[in-house]
Amino acid sequence: MRVLVIEDQVELGDDIADGLRDQGIGADVAYDGADGIQKALLNRYDVVVLDRDLPKVHGDAVCAALVGGAFEARILMLTAATSVGDRVEGLNLGADDYLTKPFAFEELLARLHALARRAPASAPVAVRGDLVLDRARRRASRAGRPLSLTRKEIGILEVLLVADGAVVSAEELLERVWDEHADPFSRTVTVTLARLRRKLGQPDPIETLVGVGYRLR
């Protein structure tokens, strides 16, 4: 999963992003509405955490701009307002969920996972051959054997499973599993894939297409 956090309170935005990264979720941060729209349109995200009261471009306008375009990410709107009217108004703008401040990070995380499972072409359990990934519980198995995978290894496996045999480039894996701060010239993807392959065992279910990318057999 990759998440964009649009929050003008720098410390809060950074804390949310750091917490998500600790959970193995790729997270980028924008501190105003204009930068948020630019990042949302430039990159592919599963969920956008959107503060409603933003400078430069108000959160309502950001939500309307994203919902009005060909934007597939789910939107979780944050606000300090607690009235039912405010929540209804936010949902009527096109937000998929609403969370009032202050909130527990565990609740935010649970809502993000729930929204990601509602994304287009998304299923709670991804299966290909004898590989099974429970996306909600972040548990994987092969031929009924539980796999002990790191969060990044699960992230790569999830992207490959969702692709359902289509080729996924190393650049796309880096974008979907890490975040905008990942070094595109590093061997991060290669090293993580090698570890994942060892844990998956033989026969190797991941096929490498030199110069193109990877896919599940």
Average pLDDT of the residues of the chain: 85
3-state secondary structure of 28: strand
CATH number of the domain at 125-216, please?
1.10.10.10
Please give the structure tokens belonging to residue 92. 């009527």
Domain positions in the chain: 2-117, 125-216
Q: What is the mean pLDDT of residues 196-214?
A: 91
Whether this model's pTM surpasses 0.85: no
User: pLDDT: is 38 or 183 the higher one?
Assistant: 38
Helix (H) or strand (E) holding 7: none
Residue range 2-117 in CATH 3.40.50.1980? no
Radius of gyration of the chain measured on its C-alpha atoms: 18
Is residue 75 very low, low, confident or very high in pLDDT (cuts 50, 70, 90)? very high
- The model's confidence at residue 90, banded by pLDDT at 50, 70 and 90, is low
Query: How far, in Å, CA of 188 to CA of 175, rounded?
Result: 12
